Amino acid sequence: MNTSPTQSRSELAQWKMTMSKYQEPSFWRASWQILNTLGGYFLVWCAIYLSLGMSWWITVPLAVLAGGLLVRTFIIFHDCGHGSFFKSKRANRFWGFVCGVLTFTPFFRWQRRHARHHATSGNLDRRGTGDIWTLTVQEYLEASRWRRLAYHVVRNPVVLFVVAPLLLLCGIERIPLGQDMPRERRSVWWMNLAILCMVALLGSAFGFANYLLIQLIIIMVSGSAGVWLFYVQHQFAGTYWAHSGEWDYTAAALQGSSYYQLPKVLQWFSGNIGFHHIHHLNPSIPNYYLERCHLASPLLQAVQPLTLLTSLKSLSLRLWDESGQRLISFRQMHRSGSGVTGSRLDAEMQGIPEVL
């Protein structure tokens, strides 16, 4: 579906009217989701405890299942951060903190950074907070060799989906940063204390070696799945980037945020976040209403979906080509020259390994 700043007023009015019907939180739906997600997560941990006396061939699959439930837990955390899960601010903050402990993420710091992500998604002049590091072709060519090498490393799938989640959850989220507000610093320290208490409690119950190994498996599964979901929500063929003077919120939502059409089981574990185009249009809609909102509007359904198979193609996309208004791979840049001569491009690429 093509959108532009000149999108007809009648279409915009229809979107707003459709979405307004689904932005009122439901106490009962939210409570049921907490029960089947956090309750399910607790039951799986109980099963893991019982499995330790049997076989790790049972324990490991249960830990993988727990990782899937932790992805769904993060979606509850995410909605609480938007204030959309419950109507009550106090309930959103309480359950946001609880889910933050389970997902190793400080609530208030994440909330502010994620709000900035929504306000700047697809804006070339406001990159750097809550997004995947993305360079334009020109920026890449003008970068130093070390910066280009760093970019290759960071955009490598092993680093993005294996190393980065562990580094983020076990390292970066544990440390207050210079740009953090006082409330966010306190959020980090209180979260660290709560996590320390959780680790001490579960470590004494499971044995610290057992607990750490199980928790590592869970974090690897949930972290890798979570980063992949975030990646494919904005890094795909046909996505949207524009400079501030041309950037448009609606276009960024409908063109720059994917509709990730997942099998029903994966849709459940990912908390309907595949309807990301709707979420960016109106983050006040809780996840348990996103699919209903999608089905209620032919205009929203007109957005071209990504499937599991087609989403894999986005792994090779690395650079934003401003002339072609598309994401391209390093190989495509090298092959086409992207506006520079082949000899100059060969010189620029010399010494940089080809990654996908």
- Give residue limits of the domains in the chain: 9-349
Cα distances (angstroms) measured from residue 101 to each of 41, 43, 203: 13, 17, 15
Identify the three-state secondary structure at position 166: helix
Res 253: pLDDT? 87
Res 207: pLDDT? 93
Q: Report the distance separating Cα 104 and Cα 98, nearest Å.
A: 10
Instruction: Return averaged pLDDT per consecutive 10 residues of the chain, 356 residues in all.
Output: 49 73 94 97 96 92 97 97 96 97 95 92 88 92 94 93 92 86 91 96 94 96 95 91 90 90 96 93 94 86 87 91 90 70 41 42
Res 33: pLDDT? 98
Q: Report the distance separating Cα 114 and Cα 118, nearest Å.
A: 6
Give residue 315's identity as a one-letter amino acid code: L
Q: Report the distance separating Cα 207 and Cα 160, nearest Å.
A: 31
Element (H, E) at 136: strand 135-136
Res 12: pLDDT? 64
Please give the torsion angle defined by the CA atoms of residues 197, 200, 203 and 204, in that order, rounded to the nearest 10 degrees: -120
Nearest CA to 285 out of 14, 105, 75 is that of: 75
Res 342: pLDDT? 37
Whether 1 and 303 have beta carbons less than 8 Å apart is answered as yes
